Amino acid sequence: MNPKKRLVTWIGHSDLRAMGETLGGSAPEEVVAPRHAPGNTATGRGPIGTLVSRIDFHRVHLLSDHKGPHENYSRPLEEVVDQFVQWLEVPVTLHRVQLRVPTSYEEVFRVSDEVLRGIWSQMDHKNETLCIHLSSGTPTMAAVWLLLAKTRYPAKLYQTYENEAREEAVPFDIQLDFLPELLKEPDRALHRLATALPSEVEGFEQLVGQSRNLLAAVGRAKRAAIREVNVLLLGESGTGKEMFARAMHRASLRGKNDRDYKRFIAVNCAAIPRELLEGELFGVAKGAATQTEERPGAFELAHEGTLFLDEVGECSLDHQAKLLRALQPRPGDSPCVRWIRRVGGKEEKPFNVRVIAATNRNLLETMAQGGFRDDLYYRLATVTIDLPALRERKPDIPLLANDILARINRDFAATEPGYKPRTLTAAAMRRLREHPWPGNIRELYNVLVQAAVMSDENEIARRDIEASLAQMPAGSATGPFSRHRGEHFNLKQRLREIEAVFIADALEDADNNQTRAAKLLGITQQALSKKLSSPRRNSG
């Protein structure tokens, strides 16, 4: 059965004028003729009238910002719009909205996104298709529709021209092909739209950061999320692979109404003993062993949802073979239908499961060494997404640290009466940026928890961070104290950077009192003041 079509578009003045010309009257622009007045209804029905007369839509949503008197109409625009809705003679839901400037990208985006979000949440996505008409309204409205249809709300696009309607194929990807060009536009509203942070992308609200590496990963994840394909997340331990998988589930059609993640099932393949992993994945049939009760496996529990296989690279070759069989599509089945047989069972049953796998291993190297099946790798890695290590996201460290510390403060305040929220000093934040974070976000969280627990002050100082950091192997430091063998660097510049670190620490310890700080440094206050005002130091 073909899915029903639900149309969304703006009402433009060309639509209202077309109604007037079709209905007739002394002045078509006045649109004063009654609904069934004689007139030429075969041509000139305008963008919306043409589209709904040629395509069968089971529901039409029209947005209108028309209100009050207008020089081209003899009646208030609200009445003209009401007549237009009746004139279409199709089921219409009218959304009256307010726009101060119909050519403002910021306003049009806000209103369009709000209306589409409500429509999207009410749709039966198994049996309905969202359709958007680009030809009606201002060019700004059409541009915003295109952005939303190719990013947040996957939709079919239609255009009308000379009384003909056609589905429009857009031969590019908005996020990778078009946004870089949009960024060159001077319009600041469009710029903000084009550079939406992960927290502004539906489903990815919990991800914090704005570094180029993170945005690239989020872009790939969002594009893959809305498609029924297997995904392999690659990245070091602690880079947030499960958080990414959850975000992709929420951004997919499977997760739109799954706010509590009831259909998101996570299995850590490295944490389950090998002899038990098969039962965890595929379930156990009654009587499979002595005193064994039947129980469903992860594939069954994730039916109509998402199964996250964490550390899939730790599976034995035997388990890999069983996974490959489960992931192998059968002729005529949709891509996510998995045929599963419980341990000790006799029959296979189908379950609709989207699979996202993750590993911190280099599976290509493991494959070359015979430790991972190449056929399973290519089955899992329909789309691969590399998650950047925290050391590759230096601009995100302050954002992450403040976000994590805010959560720590909330958790501590909930159980500790009188707890005073902790904040990070500038020197402490600099120390966080210098650290290479081999444990990534997980290590950052542990360091901040320890610092918040052990600090006697409301402010977490650099010394608190130093005390909380695990002992690092020699040669792994970053910042002004780091140097790799054979590396060329400017000694004078490096010495200025090291001096700046000690000056900043002394000022923090002295509560920004220059006389006390100079005493800690073993120099005069005049010498310290001169160093602080040095142009080379300020520019470095």
CA distance linking residue 430 with residue 397, whole number of Å: 10
Residues contacting 187, CB < 8 A, separation 6+: 105
Q: What is the pLDDT of residue 181?
A: 41
Q: What is the pLDDT of residue 38?
A: 38
CA distance linking residue 309 with residue 72, whole number of Å: 62
Residues contacting 283, CB < 8 A, separation 6+: 294, 295, 296, 297, 299, 300, 340, 342, 343, 345
CA distance linking residue 20 with residue 400, whole number of Å: 57
Q: What is the pLDDT of residue 126?
A: 79
Q: What is the pLDDT of residue 414?
A: 92
Residues contacting 32, CB < 8 A, separation 6+: 20, 25, 26, 74, 75
Q: How many CB atoms lie within 10 A of CB 257?
A: 9
Residues contacting 182, CB < 8 A, separation 6+: 190, 191, 194
CA distance linking residue 264 with residue 303, whole number of Å: 9
Q: Tell me which residue of 369, 375, 367, 425 sits closest to 401, measured CA to CA.
A: 425
Predicted TM-score (pTM) of the model is: 0.57
Q: Name the amino acid, one letter, at 172.
A: F
DSSP-derived 3-state class of residue 385: strand
Distances 291 to 276, 285, 286, 287, 343 between C-alpha atoms, Å: 16, 11, 9, 7, 14
Pair of tokens at residue 434: 């210098």
Residues contacting 295, CB < 8 A, separation 6+: 279, 283, 284
CA distance linking residue 468 with residue 280, whole number of Å: 38
Q: What is the pLDDT of residue 242?
A: 95
Enumerate residue ranges in the chain where pLDDT < 50. 26-29, 31-43, 172-195, 471-477, 484-485, 537-540
| Cβ pair 407, 206 in contact under 8 A | no
Tens of pLDDT, residues 488-523: 567 777 677 778 777 877 776 777 788 888 888 888
- The DSSP result for 281-296, as a single string, is HH-B-TTSSTTPPPB-
Q: How many CB atoms lie within 10 A of CB 493?
A: 12
Q: Is the dihedral of CA 142, 144, 149, 155 positive or negative?
A: negative
